[in-house]
Amino acid sequence: MTDLPDGVSIRNGERADYENVAEMQYPSWRLSYRGILAPEMLDLFDYQRWVSEEYPRRLHRTGWTMRLAESGGQLIGMSIFGPEPGHPDHLEIDSLYIAAGSERRGIGGLLLEDALGTRPLDDVVLWCAEKNYRARRFYQKKGFQLDGRTMMWKLAPGILEIPQLGYTLHR
């Protein structure tokens, strides 16, 4: 693993962390989807749903984990990953978010490398919003390639759907 920048540590996230994780992730998520979703649509999301439903659902799956990057006692990034459902020989990156103001310091790369290190021989898959060009560039620079998979993320079926593209890192 690459040396961590001074003062940065990565640890497992626990249920007691969910509130702080959601408070960090929500502004970053809004920035990620700015220009993809209208501001009034972004306003419809309540991060408490992540705390009460999404994190427990994602992390209840066998082999799934949440990892947190911290610096100076502050949460500055998070990732959620585990075996791809239906393809346990693949690692799936479900979420990777960096706190607003902490971007472009290498934290995303550290969290990604941390996840990749848990299953160093497996191919790695993820989904990325088609119009999230910043995230797409990040993953492409890390060796991920478009793999031809597509799906519609249905936030409100028939009303609010976001095209997603599949990426794979072959190892």
Residue 139 within any structural domain of the chain: yes
Residue 103 scores a pLDDT above 50: yes
Residue 70 within any structural domain of the chain: yes
Residue 3 within any structural domain of the chain: no
Structural domain harbouring 26: 8-169
pTM here is 0.92
Residue 143 within any structural domain of the chain: yes
Residue 35 scores a pLDDT above 90: no
Residue 2 within any structural domain of the chain: no
CATH of the domain at 76: 3.40.630.30
- Choose the weakest-confidence range: 80-84, 122-126, 151-155: 151-155
% pLDDT > 70, the chain: 95
Residue 66 within any structural domain of the chain: yes
Residue 1 within any structural domain of the chain: no
- Choose the weakest-confidence range: 34-38, 108-112, 145-149: 34-38
Q: What is the pLDDT of residue 1?
A: 42
Q: What is the pLDDT of residue 2?
A: 46
Higher pLDDT, 47 or 113: 113
Q: How many domains are contained in the chain?
A: 1
Residue 75 scores a pLDDT above 70: yes
pLDDT tens digits, residue range 125-157? 999 999 999 999 999 999 999 999 999 988 766
Q: What is the pLDDT of residue 71?
A: 94
Tell me the β-bridge partners of 126: 93, 167
Residue 40 within any structural domain of the chain: yes
